[in-house]
Structure 1
Amino acid sequence: METFQIPGASVAILKHGQIIYTNGYGFANLELRVPAKPETSYLIGSVTKTFTAAAAMILWEEGRFNLDDIIGDYLPHLPHHWKPVTIRQLLHHTSGIVTNLGKADSLCKFNFDCDNYTRANVIQETACLPLSFEPGTKWEYSGRGYYVLGMLIEKLSGKTFSEFLKERIFTPLGMSETGMINYDIIVPNRASGYVVGEYGLQNSPQMNPEVELSDGGLISTALDLAKWDASFYTERILKRSTIDLMWSNARLKDNTIVSSYGIGFGLTPYKGHKRVGHTGDIPGFSSCITRFTNQNITVIILTNITNSRLNIGKLGNEIAACYWARKI
């Protein structure tokens, strides 16, 4: 925590879906000196994508779409060059849809009203850019692709993304402290976010919920994410065959295997051990959930810092390695 200037962190470690260790470290709020606890709520950034993928696969299990359907058939108002992308390609990050906002800003020259930012603005931000490659021919992480998946979930379910997650995932699992970013409501135990500035730590900007949505818009706790991990030992949310599909490596059109990603989960091994999980980085917060499937060990880390030097996923892997050594 000293090395990476982490104000606060909450950690949960699980074996076979059961918590074997949990604790809070440092401060959830530096100005008020509020200690971080296992119950502290943090923005989880792209760990949200595990829920987005699961929500999409719930609808797939119900026969609401085929994975190789093109997204334009469901969302006809998308930019024309995005429409031929398949739902499978969105889930696998092989769509070619660009998320590089810096590049888009320099080329598109949009002047959005930041106080009244709309979903259309989110799409316009990168729609001016061509696809990075022909869909299905390469792998490139695309937050904007997962944003489109959130729109698909809303279209097919007839509910908001937030309502669908609450009804089909959060409530069934008892995840009462998990929901979409909302600065208008009182959230008990909400951590303040920090970034590393020129003179040390400073308060992070607040994130626009409309911008994040299914890309990175959730707030949660280590204890709630423990319930999420535990659900994958069961079929309470998804069938075992569907979970296996999500935890299988993506393939390109030429059948080349993508070594790093499945559906909503990263699959990069660590020291020869099979791993599924995801990291999240959003201004003010860094998080990870990493599960070693052969050892049935999961490590969840939530922090209230953005620091480019902090590799939160590596930290989670190293904590898990301590448990292998102890053969717990």
Structure 2
Amino acid sequence: MKKRILFIIILFLTAFGFQITTYAINQNQSVAIQNLLDEACKKSNTPGISVAIVSEKETSFFSSGYSNLDKKIPADEQTIFELASVSKAFTALGILKLEKQGMLSRTDKIQDYLPWLAFNYRGKSVDMNQLTINNFLNHTSGLTNRKHSATIPEGNSPNMLEKTVKNIKQADLAFLPRESHEYGTINYDILGLLIEVVSEKNYEEFMTSEILQPLNLKNTYVTSNEIKNSDSLSLGYRSFFFQPLHYEAPKFRGNTPAGYLLSNSKDLARWMSIQLNQTTDIPNVFTSLINESHQQKYAALLSKDMSYGVGWFMSTDGTIIFHPGRNPNFAADIHLFPKEKIGISLLANNANANPDLVLAIKSILDVDLKQSYSLSRIQQLDVSLTIVTIICSILFLITIGLNKKIRRNLSKSLLKQHLHFLSIMSLSLSVVLLIISIIVLVNHRHIFTWQPYSIATALVSSLLLFSTLFLLLIKENK
């Protein structure tokens, strides 16, 4: 009898422990997550956010806001968003599948497949024997966002991938191959073209037939042209003076392998379950490929705690695998916690949305319910520069409209002091903003496509204010 009771107690404790480790979401946690998403939409000026959470025990979906503000179409797990750089893991899996089929090796030289591709470093030709496929997978090729993202051409024609890669031919690298690591989205465009050359299929066809269909990802697309129901595709938005405005971003079809696949939370839940080995209805080959993509063997070490490998950032202790993404009018993120068998994805239709929201959701799953939304760095910059724009505009209008009254009420010497002070301040602000623009922006297209409008409005308004004050100062000195 005692043995039977002991056995029952062990079964109970085992079952109870299983429930704790698999994160069955209770009512309080559901309310906390929903409140957090509602707060995130409001604070980030993001019309719609969709989140998926997977564990061994259950899959949960949470959404807030709209995929289309004008039509008031709610965002939910069926809403399709751009995946931004979350796309890279799909492209990397394509490379791994070709390797498994014996059609290439990650250690192969890139020139074995793209013999016309050549780079320079500080004006001298780079030894292309140094550049392997793996250097593009882990961003150690010397191609970086800082130096090379501006070369990605706009366009939606079928040949844009080849055109994008040929645009980078003879580029001057930021560093010699393998000497450093710096993230560069165009690395994955080169991998996309490599897939075309090796498979003898275009990238869209290969990814659909060799990756998406075998994995039964029915709501994941390589291009928006494949989506039959247009209302299922979320519109993209950008913030302008603290309001979300619909923004039809330029098409960069040549950048698809790096950042323009599309999917919804329902499919990302399945994608995360596949990554966590919780899905059994897939071809056996993918189980080994997924496990291979999480290995540190070919990854580039970023610090003692973090590395970048086959389309994923990875903690060196194996506790976190993740990738954030940001396009001109969308944001995305996936965080996997392999040891806890948890995955969380985020899709949003405004680039201002903070991908770190997934970490706040994870804290709620860890029973820390008091979470609040934090502004992303890009939104902090946007808010700051919008305030600068407003202040400079007000000062400009005051200077124009009230300068006669000001001159009557102030002595000439005091007026000059005020004008000197304001001129110096506005000039200093303009110089600072100009420096920010030079650092942040690669070319004029970048500011209107990828960066907050407020960079331009703050710069223009501060220069306008300085010019007006300077002219008044000259007038007073006559």
Query: Is TM-score (shorter-chain normalized) higher than 0.5?
Result: yes
Label 1:103 to 1:181 Cα distance change in 2 as closer, same or farther (>3 A).
closer
Bigger CA drift: 280-289 or 183-192? 183-192
Give yes or no for the alignment of 1:27 onto 2:66: yes
Q: Distance in 2 between matches of 1:266 and 1:252?
A: 9
Please give the TM-score of this superposition, normalised by the length of structure 1: 0.85
Give yes or no for the alignment of 1:64 onto 2:103: yes
Aligned length: 315
CA contact (8 A) 1:100 1:126 kept: no
From the CA coordinates, give the structure whose radius of gyration is larger.
2
Structure 1 SS opposite 2:135: helix
- Alignment partner, residue 199 of structure 2: 157
Q: Distance in 2 between matches of 1:257 and 1:248?
A: 16
Label 1:157 to 1:257 Cα distance change in 2 as closer, same or farther (>3 A).
farther
Alignment of 1:101-120 (within 5 A): 118-120=160-162
Label 1:52 to 1:255 Cα distance change in 2 as closer, same or farther (>3 A).
closer
Q: Distance in 2 between matches of 1:245 and 1:70?
A: 20
Q: Distance in 2 between matches of 1:180 and 1:252?
A: 26
**Quick one: which of 238, 263, 287 aligns to 1:195?**
238
- Alignment partner, residue 137 of structure 1: 179
Give yes or no for the alignment of 1:94 onto 2:140: yes
**What is the deviation of 1:144?**
0.7
CA contact (8 A) 1:43 1:181 kept: no
- Where structure 1 has 5 or more consecutive residues not aligned to the other structure, the ranges are none
- Alignment partner, residue 166 of structure 1: 208
**Quick one: which of 307, 322, 327 aligns to 1:282?**
327
Please give the TM-score of this superposition, normalised by the length of structure 2: 0.60
**Quick one: which of 241, 246, 259 aligns to 2:306?**
259
Give yes or no for the alignment of 1:292 onto 2:337: yes
Structure 1 SS opposite 2:344: strand
Alignment of 1:222-237 (within 5 A): 222-232=265-275, 233=277, 236=283
Indicate the structure with greater helix content: 2
CA RMSD of aligned residues (A): 3.0
Structure 2 SS opposite 1:274: coil
**Quick one: which of 70, 77, 94 aligns to 1:55?**
94
CA contact (8 A) 2:156 2:251 kept: no
Q: Distance in 2 between matches of 1:161 and 1:74?
A: 15
- Alignment partner, residue 302 of structure 1: 347
- Alignment partner, residue 212 of structure 1: 255
CA contact (8 A) 1:99 1:126 kept: no
**What is the deviation of 1:325?**
3.2
Label 1:104 to 1:19 Cα distance change in 2 as closer, same or farther (>3 A).
same
**What is the deviation of 1:32?**
1.0
Sequence identity percentage: 27
**What is the deviation of 1:324?**
2.9
**Quick one: which of 54, 71, 76 aligns to 1:14?**
54
Q: Which amino acid aligns with 2:295?
A: S
Write the deviation string for residues 287-306 of structure 1: whole angstroms up to 9, x where unpaired. Answer: 11111011111001111011
Alignment of 1:175-186 (within 5 A): 175-183=217-225, 186=228
**What is the deviation of 1:58?**
0.5
CA contact (8 A) 2:221 2:262 kept: yes
Q: Distance in 1 between matches of 2:219 and 2:155?
A: 28
- Where structure 2 has 5 or more consecutive residues not aligned to the other structure, the ranges are 1-40, 121-125, 369-478
**What is the deviation of 1:319?**
0.9
Q: Distance in 2 between matches of 1:315 and 1:39?
A: 20
Bigger CA drift: 67-76 or 252-261? 252-261
Indicate the structure with greater strand content: 1
Give yes or no for the alignment of 1:122 onto 2:164: yes
